[in-house]
Amino acid sequence: MINISELSALCDKLGCRITPECSLSEYITFRFGGPCRALISVNSAKSAAELIRYMKSEGIKYGILGRGSNVIVSDEGFDGVILLFGSDFARIDVKGNIIRCDAGTLLAAACVRAQQLGLTGMENLFGIPGTVGGALYMNAGAYGSEMKDVVVSAEYIDENCNICSIGKNEMELGYRRSIFSGTDKVITSVTVELRNGDPDGIKAAMSECMAKRSSKQPLEYPSAGSTFKRPEGSYASLLIEQCGLKGLTCGGAMVSEKHSGFVINKGYATCADVLELCEKVKTVVKEKTGYVLELEPVILQ
């Protein structure tokens, strides 16, 4: 049982905003999903640790949400509290070629700051629609670059609600995974190390990266980005296209005709539509090719 009055009092003490019975559809890029019992906009690592400590002690279910770009929320919503790592938790500090970002910092904002400072290394990550914390959590990448190429350290809240530090070599960074994946560890800041470069050249590379995305990906529709992880030995989009599944629909969800690796929301999709469509795709691909596709987005339920 969630005592909203008590939780609101704690948020007031910490200076965090709280919204009871908040619809999550506007907080995920897929643009669907039911409400959570309360959404709290976190403003610091200390506040996050205090809130998590309280919810663990009270047996309250909680979840972490950043930009919501790699998340699927059920139609019934989330029967618990969501801690939003967003604009209230998005400070960027720079010292030489080292950039430290709060976990709620948009990855694109970090890339722009690096460009303005003439620091190179993050160009290919520009356009990934997530936060820095979320990007490290899944070791996000694009066009041959991944977070593991630039990250040097991070801070996180451990299972006992302590704020800890971790170096890159301890992060177990692999394809769309890290030591944080599927655990209670909550990333609170990420530090990257870049190289000196030409601001104009970096800007041109970022523009080229966005042009590639716009020409090849269905950015005009809500989605969670690439819907399936890359199976070893092939590509999800290639397999889906080979199976003739481009344009396949379930309710308001559709396999993009522009990029078959994307399941998109045509404007009225539900979570049930998306999950049903994904299961159909996985079944057909396995029957016709033998490959087993795995969802990339995290299901928040």
Q: Which residues are catalytic?
A: 176, 226, 296
DSSP secondary structure code for residue 214 in this structure: H
Helix (H, G, I), strand (E, B) or coil at 139: coil
Helix (H, G, I), strand (E, B) or coil at 67: coil
Here the tokens at position 12 are: 């007031």
**Percent helix, strand and coil across the chain, each to the nearest 5:** 35, 30, 40
Which class for 86: exposed (0-12), middle (13-18), buried (19 or more C-beta within 10 A)?
buried
* 175 in Cβ contact with 229 (< 8 Å): yes
Q: Cα–Cα distance between 153 and 167 in angstroms, integer?
A: 4
Here the tokens at position 123 are: 């160009």
How many CB atoms neighbour CB 31 within 10 A?
A: 18
Please give the span between the terminal C-alpha atoms of the chain, in angstroms, as a whole number.
17
- 301's enclosing H/E stretch is none
